[in-house]
Structure 1
Amino acid sequence: MQAGCPGYRCPNVEVRSGVVEIKSLMRGRMSREFRMSVLVCISERCVSLFWVMVLRTHVFKKRKAEKMRSDEATEMEKHSLYYIYTALSKPVNLPGIYQFTAMGLLDDRQIDYYNSEQQKKIPTQKWMKEKMQEDYWEEGTQSRKIKEQWFNLNLKNLTKLMNGSESDLHVLQWRTGCEVEEERSEVKFSKGISEFSYDGEDFLSFDDKESQWVASVDAALPTKRKWDSDPNLNKNTKSYLEKKCVDWIDRFSGYTDEKLRNGSLPNVQVFAKRSIRDKTKLNLTCMATGFYPKDVMLIIRKNLISLPEDEVESTGIRPNHDETFQLRKSVEINEDEPAEYGCFVSHRTLETPDIIKWDGKYFGHSLTDTALIAALKVIGIVGGAMLIVVLVVLFLKKKKIIDLKVISSTRRVL
């Protein structure tokens, strides 16, 4: 682009008092214009050629970041295996809630189950029943029985230490397992977790990197010191998290059915409804549902630019009734805003990210519209019902001293 010499004028270039102002127009997808000005000081008598190169750096960086995260989500598969144990200090006489329960979760799907009434470890996936031999279930049943005794003993000791009444309900929970990353059929350890909670509060956890226990509250310090004084316990805990748990994931992943391995595609919808608080605004929602595995990227975009997460409300990833998941994100916008909004979704099952544009329509608050919005949410409600058992045992807030005894002979089969 030539500019800056006397008697010469270029489109969108003005020379004023030795200053060249270069104007640039960026047009939005809905005919909205953006103006950018760059000032350069030069001599009015110059005979040089000037070239202008414009890079939309902000948009480029956003898109590049999205593509990188999308590629990572597609190429790097994540898997997890966790076992969750929950013990109550007394029966609660509610259907489906037992004094002791244990379950295994592979990639957030239950694969086995045990409760204090049946006292038998059973498969909850067809492929687990078909692939795992009878001795696996027998040994697992014995391991769960030992853990049930361990939990019951420590809850009784806790009640005595706090001089509590037998009418009080107390809860002790343990979550242990690991997460791995798989790329090109190579499985790598990512994270290991072994943590205890008491009456719904963090109590004690294992620091895998430092090979030591961490007390979340002062009441857990005696247990931390006792367990750290046993080098074999910490060594075995670290070995299970980093090696045995990873081996189990690798083994189970080879047994899973085709549907589990291939995953489920996300069904993506974008809709809006009038805000209850401000009639001039709309609540725009992006919803992805029916996807598996759990990891997903869902971004609300305005004029092709991702909105910052701190401006967006999220439900977090929630379970559906069919062992898939859903995620909803919402943002409040002006009703007459001429911007283009859409949802950007990336998931392992998608060859390329999916982009769904908002059509500009919205719901009011008539009975019909309210019913429609409720229908879009019903899957999350049904899925949330699966969490009732966990929520029931997490409402207590008491914290007391308990010197937990070490679990013995239970590291091989969970």
Structure 2
Amino acid sequence: MTVVAATLCVVLLLVLFVSTLGDKHSLYYLYTHQSRNSSDRVSEFSAVTLLDDRQIDSYSSTDGVRTPKQDWMNEMKEREWKSGTEKLKYDGELLNQVDIHMKTLRHNKPDGHTLQWRVGCEGENHSGGLLLVLNCINEYGYDGQNLISYNWTWRKWSSSVSQPKALEEEWNAGHVDQRCEDCVHWLRTYLKFSTTDTKLTPPDVHVFAKKSTTNSGMLTLTCLATGFYPKDVEIKLRKFTTSLPEHLLTSSGVRPNDDGTYQLRKSVEIQEDEAAEYDCSVTHSSIEEPIIKQWDKRCFDCESSGSGMVGGVICGVVVLLLILGGIIFTLIKKGIVGIPGAAGSAGAAGAATTAATALQAPPNGVPEELLTADRKAGGGSDAGSDSGQGTGSTNSSNGNIGNGSSGNGHTYANGTNGAPATT
């Protein structure tokens, strides 16, 4: 009984502990300071505030205006809105001083510079309105490289290996950073007014393959998870249910969608004739069990590229036939190549002409009168010869046109049958 009672107590404590856990929230300020050259003392400054990974405002030193990005921010009290605006302006001035100090350390190197600053906090709501701080971040970047960051556990600044240690020593000798406490204060303030829908949204998962753009004979297999919230998600590409190592995968990184949700895709290169079974496993806080989508072994653009190749081959054959036809036509026209049917017709016409000429010339001095009498006795030899010549020529010519049309008909028929394949 004692063991059973102890077990029940543990279970009840666990239930109470879980019931006190609430939603996780975060607040981040992203600052950017840009100077055109090393002599600038006043530079452009911009700021963006993110609550639960959604932008709630923006600020620019160009016009000095803070613009709300969420409707609920218009419900804030004037005092709180003004105080938040003054904070952004103050941080801009502070960032300008850091930029000037960095130029001094770098001995006024020419060209413009970009100084970035990210400061924020993460917390979790508990019963009674208690916000438990989980993490705080305070870090700087300079010209695209890590500069210095604050370790909240050790309460010390730590500069990047590639950066001078003078800045680290100077800042550690100063006062203890209070940015975490300030961030938590504003996180509580914004959560009081926020009406943004932060409900959990499960991801839509898609698995597809396309021909690789870099490796011939390879496919790029991609798993896409989109439309989920919050942004923390885990994607695993698996081969025979075994996860592929991360160093083989290409990741897009978590990216925002227009509706406030997020997307992430991961890809891997596989053989085009791959026979293995691949799937994608996605884990998210909005679902109890991972979503697993099987690859159907289809290639998104493989068939279209194959039909394009066939169409290209057919088109090439048609063009080649047209060229050959043009060459043959030119040779025939110049008389370099003769057509058998046409040659026979020309021979018959030539023989008839010779015979007619022979009848008109007086052979061996025979008088023309006798030849004329012989023609009349023969009953129209001239008419028969002329008619025979004309008929033979016409028949031969018609035979050539028929052969030519028939040959061209076969050629066009082949082109017509190939046309759909081209399409």
**When you count strand as a share of all residues, which structure comes out higher?**
1
User: Which residue does the alignment assign to 2:276?
Assistant: 339
Runs of 4+ in 1 over 4 A off after TM superposition: 75-78, 156-163, 181-187, 217-220, 365-369
The answer as to 2:137 corresponding to 1:200 is no
Q: 2:261 aligns with which of 324, 331, 334?
A: 324
After superposition, the C-alpha distances for 1:77-128 in whole angstroms (9 at most, x for unaligned) are 643211111111239xxxxxx8101121122211121111221333211222
Between Structure 1 and Structure 2, how many residues are aligned? 281
- Identity among equivalent positions (%) equals 40
Question: Which 5+ residue runs of structure 1 have no aligned equivalent?
Answer: 1-71, 92-97, 370-414
User: Which residue does the alignment assign to 1:272?
Assistant: 209
Q: Which amino acid aligns with 1:322?
A: D
- How far off is 1:150 after superposition? 3.0
Q: 1:307 aligns with which of 244, 247, 251?
A: 244
Q: 2:95 aligns with which of 151, 166, 173?
A: 151
Q: 1:79 aligns with which of 1, 6, 25?
A: 25
Distance 1:140 1:355, change over 3 A: same
CA contact (8 A) 1:85 1:103 kept: yes
Map 1:28-177; keep pairs closer than 5 Å.
Answer: 78-90=24-36, 99-130=44-75, 132-156=76-100, 158-159=102-103, 162=106, 164=108, 168-177=111-120
Q: 2:134 aligns with which of 175, 186, 190?
A: 190
State the SS of the aligned residue for 2:297: coil
Q: Distance in 2 between matches of 1:255 and 1:357?
A: 43
Distance 1:366 1:190, change over 3 A: same
CA contact (8 A) 1:83 1:177 kept: yes
Distance 1:213 1:339, change over 3 A: same
Distance 1:141 1:255, change over 3 A: closer
**When you count helix as a share of all residues, which structure comes out higher?**
2
Q: 1:225 aligns with which of 155, 169, 178?
A: 169
Distance 1:144 1:181, change over 3 A: closer
State which structure, 1 or 2, has the greater radius of gyration over its C-alpha atoms.
2
Map 1:254-273; keep pairs closer than 5 Å.
Answer: 255-257=193-195, 259=197, 261-273=198-210
User: Which residue does the alignment assign to 1:284?
Assistant: 221
Q: Distance in 1 between matches of 2:74 and 2:293?
A: 40
Distance 1:137 1:253, change over 3 A: closer
User: Which residue does the alignment assign to 1:212?
Assistant: 156
- What is the aligned-residue RMSD (CA, Å)? 3.2
Q: Distance in 2 between matches of 1:302 and 1:171?
A: 44
Distance 1:252 1:337, change over 3 A: same
Q: Distance in 2 between matches of 1:155 and 1:278?
A: 45
Q: Which amino acid aligns with 1:80?
A: S
TM-score (norm 2): 0.58
